[in-house]
Amino acid sequence: MKTHQQLADIAQTVRKLTLAAIYNAESGHPGGALSCSDLLTYCFNNILDITPDNATDLTRDRFVLSKGHAAPSLYAIAATQNLMTSQEALSLRKFGSVAQGHPDKLSMNWLDASTGSLGQGFANALGMAMSYQHQDVDAKVVTLLGDGELQEGQVWETAMCAAHFKLSNLTAIIDYNKLQSDDLNQNIMGLEPLKEKFEAFGWHVMEINGHSFSEIEDAFNQALNETSKPSMIIAHTIKGKGVSYMEEIPTWHGSVRMTRQDTVSALTELNMSEAAAEDWLLESVQRVD
């Protein structure tokens, strides 16, 4: 188990790798990748037992990134866990790379689902949890959804099914940053009252600050002790967290190409000097070319 300070340091590394990868790729989704970096950091360090040694184990813990466009942050946390190399994470969207723009489970054996078509990852996680329940396998299934993703109908079919079968081995997290590609959720298709909706569907629901490791920890402690229903963690987050010029700006969902100056500026906000950021970017680009 990592301490909260250790987790904060790892999350900082995840954000740096994420930004460098998106810069190298000349495309990607920085806003939603940064908003879930703390959640991914906690999951892969203190909850999930997924390692290079057990990656092919049929009864290991499972993780599904249902919001597949946040793949750069998933690859970044994977690099810190030795599930892939930093060089592979930085090769995002390059021809022949294992780090595709959205997760491709055929590319790496620790990936549990190919996602990107929103809503489907949640349903995949449901199937894994049902399978483990049927086989009496003592393992966790965790999935991370985006908030705009909740506008997909199959999300609610999945929620209904999981509660019906009392899948207490399933924990879902909503990266609730309130923004999607074009605008605020509430201006496109409102989600509230969100907690009450999932409670009505039969879930154990918690609302937390998704950037507070103590609150994330408390929520998972509750989820892991729940024995009669699936658990939903509604994590209130900030889109673009950690980079002031990206925070809560819809265009940084993925429609703006990051320039070198954008990236250097972002890295300096993550405690790198401008010179160190320039040198690291030059090195990372050379490593993937």
Q: What is the pLDDT of residues 251-278, one digit of tens each?
A: 777 777 889 999 999 999 999 999 999 9
Mean pLDDT, rounded, of the chain? 95
**Average of per-residue pLDDT across 203-224:** 99
pLDDT at 180: 85
Distance CA 9, CA 279 (A): 21
Query: Which backbone phi and psi does 48 adopt, to 5 degrees?
Result: -90, 135
**Under a CB-based contact definition with an 8 Å cutoff, are residues 83 and 52 in contact?**
yes
pLDDT at 204: 99
pLDDT at 289: 59
**Average of per-residue pLDDT across 5-21:** 97
pLDDT at 67: 97
Longest dimension (CA), the chain: 56
pLDDT at 90: 94
**Average of per-residue pLDDT across 173-198:** 93
**Is it the case that residue 227 has pLDDT exceeding 90?**
yes
pLDDT at 287: 66
**Under a CB-based contact definition with an 8 Å cutoff, are residues 242 and 269 in contact?**
yes
**Under a CB-based contact definition with an 8 Å cutoff, are residues 205 and 195 in contact?**
yes
Q: How many helices (H) and strands (E) does the chain have?
A: 12, 5
Domains of the chain: residue spans and CATH: 4-288 (3.40.50.970)
Helix, strand, coil percent content, the chain, rounded in steps of 5: 50, 10, 40
